[in-house]
Amino acid sequence: MTTDVNAPHVLEVEDLRTVFHTPRGDVHAVDGVSFSLAAGETLGLVGESGSGKSVLGRTVMGLVASGPRTTVTGRVRIGGRDVHALKPAERRRLWGPEVAMVFQDPMTSLNPVKRVGTHLTETLRRHLGCSRTEATERAVDLLRQVGIPEPARRMGQYPHELSGGMRQRVVIAIALACDPRLLIADEPTTALDVTVQKQILDLLASLVAERTMAMVLVSHDLGAVAGRTDRVQVMYAGRTVESGPTRPVFDVPAHPYTDALLASIPRLDNPPHTLLRTIEGNPPDMARPPAGCRFGPRCAFVTDQCREAQPEAAVVPGGRAVACHHPLSRSILEGAGDGR
């Protein structure tokens, strides 16, 4: 893997917590998450809907920040700067040149009454101070880089005149406009046709590699994350349940939740008529999380210990960490130091 301990981290997240104050009570959407990312490194953030991964992505960027109905604690450093300690105007200066986001649904994340080109040129002019003609040239070039045919003509079109895949390419071009060091892709292929999904993921992977950008790929699609990320972080109910290099984690999952997620993917090498395993129940109501391990109520291996104490993340060899009282593959835990 490309992790270099000495490389300065593009992104450092320390014990990040996002709490939404709702009439139903406090919702702990992100509940103590830590990780870091070096230049050129990609991290997959996986979990079911409602596991807090999108909120995590937005909190990392600072789009979700402390306010009347939200409290963010912990620390996010992008390029060494504490995102949540910055004034709003200073934070906006990061959005584009330092960190950018690719959104889930290209049908709704482009302004329907704004030309494709305007989305790009206004971003370029805001951050890089380009002249009108310079911004137009760069915008055309960006559209070409994301594989849009006839980029000059597309500039004058409106989003509804483009297909879903083309629109997501535009969204990617916008995110890349100011050469960010960190790209957060929030379910970038969920709203797209299956045939287009792979194209978009490959495009993202190649663009990230070209520019040695760091990327956080948020997805509930384990297949999307599997081949295209260096490390993976499995989220459940606002917490990290398992993390580590993508390949080993997916080959030999240690957390029952990771295992269950992997077992629920249809595979070509399954014999015909194999019943797909599903995870019973739904993620917990985050205004009233269960006591002890949050996955406990849905876990096949639940014990009294799980119902009482919340498991802390135990660091295991190979850069992996698991938050479980009864990890599945004991072999990988050898030398973990807690004797289990």
Two tokens at 62?
A: 């600072």
Where are the strands (E) in the chain, listed by range? 9-22, 25-38, 42-46, 70-78, 81-82, 99-102, 182-186, 214-219, 231-236, 239-245, 314-316, 320-322
Q: Which residues are 76's β-sheet partners?
A: 13
CA 180 to chain centre: 16
User: What would the two tokens of residue 79 be?
Assistant: 């390029």
CB of 167 or CB of 298, closer to another protein: 167
Cβ at position 89, least distance to another protein in Å:
8
Of 110 and 286, the one with the shorter C-beta distance to another protein is: 110
Binding site for another protein (CB under 8 A): 61, 63, 89, 92-96, 100-101, 103-105, 108-114, 119, 122-123, 126-127, 158, 160, 171, 174, 177
- Give burial (CB, 10 Å; 0-12/13-18/19+) of 319: middle
10 or 174: CB nearest another protein: 174
* Residue number with CB closer to another protein (108 or 274): 108
Least separation, in Å, of the C-beta of 16 and another protein?
Answer: 18
Q: How far is the CB of 308 from another protein (least distance, A)?
A: 40
Q: Which token pair is 97?
A: 């040149």
Strands (E), 250-293: none
Nearer to another protein, 78 or 232 (CB): 78
Strands 42-46 and 231-236: parallel
27 vs 51: CA distance, rounded Å:
12
CB of 63 or CB of 226, closer to another protein: 63
Q: How far is the CB of 297 from another protein (least distance, A)?
A: 33
Query: By three-state DSSP, how is residue 43 classified?
Result: strand
CB of 116 to another protein, least distance (A): 11
Pull the structure tokens for residue 238. 């606002």
Nearest approach in angstroms of CB 107 to another protein is 9
CB of 68 or CB of 339, closer to another protein: 68
Closest CA to 315 of 295, 335, 292: 335
User: What's the min distance (Å) between Cβ of 115 and another protein?
Assistant: 8
Q: How far, CA to CA in Å, does 129 sit from each of 77, 91, 163?
A: 25, 17, 31
